[in-house]
Amino acid sequence: MVVTGLVTNVVRLAAGWDEPQRRAWCERLEDRTRAVPPHAVIYRGRNVIFRDLVEGEEVAVKRFPVASPGKRLVYRLRATKAVRAFDHALRLEALGIGTPQPLAAVEVRRDGWPAASYFCSAYLPEFREARELRVPGAPDRSLLLGLLGEFVGRLHELGVVHRDLTSGNVLLVPDRDRPGGVCFQLVDINRMRFARIGVRAGVANLVQLRLNDGGEVLEGYCRARGLDPSRLRRLYAARLAWRGVTQGVKERTRPWRRRLGL
């Protein structure tokens, strides 16, 4: 569909979404994004996340802009972030790993070059981010930290690596039938790897959470992978310290990287 000089293509659709009304909604996403009411905006920054109602179903929409010439070239040759997020969500579901249900992936191109992509998923009306567990007085903090470590350990045992495993990308969704009363779900899943992961690489991935815990995360991780936490504490501490250094550099250089489109 052509809208204001742009070509919008619906690249992926969930089985129940392949019908005219939902497809038409997907094709109008670029225009809808410009008119999102403030109350529907979940996040607005480099990316935009908002919620919408489609045929009575609440949907979360994430828009990934493709701003720099370098990124436009990259995404002309490889799958866009929205398509990768959709495909990764299907793989996670097949493995029994929690993530919001994928509904659609949409690409917007100008003169054949990527301009933006949209990933649409089921909206979660109630959740907490794992980053809330940084607060010492958070409810059931010790229990949930250990369960979170187990969750990441199971991911690695299944050969799943979330390459941006920050505590904001793990959601705690209420579920009375699960230990701790929560189901862990992954979001921002366009950057993932599906491969066997060793212990050292696994610990390097685990420290991305940076939850300032007292060892519960590592202990839970080791339970899930059948490892001895006493043999990994030194490695975990070293990796955690190095992660702090690299994150500091990343934050200081963020404005320049944004200007360069990196």
Q: What are phi and psi of 34, to 5 degrees?
A: -70, -20
Residue matched to tokens 């670029």: 30
- What confidence score (pLDDT) does residue 258 get? 63
Q: Which CATH number fits domain 2-122: 3.30.200, 3.30.60, 3.40.960, 3.30.230?
A: 3.30.200
Q: Which tens digits make up the pLDDT trace of 86-128?
A: 999 999 999 999 999 999 999 999 888 899 999 999 999 999 9
* Same fold: 2-122 with 128-252: no
Return the exposure string of 63-91: e unless at least 16 CB atoms fall within 10 Å of the residue's CB, then b: bbbbeeeebbeebeeebbbbbbbbbbbee
Indicate the helix (H) or strand (E) that contains 41. strand 41-44
What SS3 state is found at 10?
A: strand
Strand partners, 117: 64, 107
SS3 state at 75: helix
Determine the CATH number of domain 128-252: 1.10.510
Question: What average pLDDT values come out for the chain (262 residues) when binned by 10 residues?
Answer: 73 95 96 93 94 97 87 80 98 98 96 92 97 95 98 99 98 96 98 97 97 95 98 96 86 70 58
- DSSP secondary structure code for residue 189 in this structure: T
Query: What is the per-residue pLDDT for 2?
Result: 45
Angstrom distance (rounded) from CA 75 to CA 81: 8
pLDDT digits (tens, 9 = 90+) for 165-187: 999 999 999 999 999 999 999 99
Predicted TM-score (pTM) of the model is: 0.91
Domain boundaries, the chain: 2-122, 128-252
Residues 52, 41: Cα–Cα separation, whole Å: 9
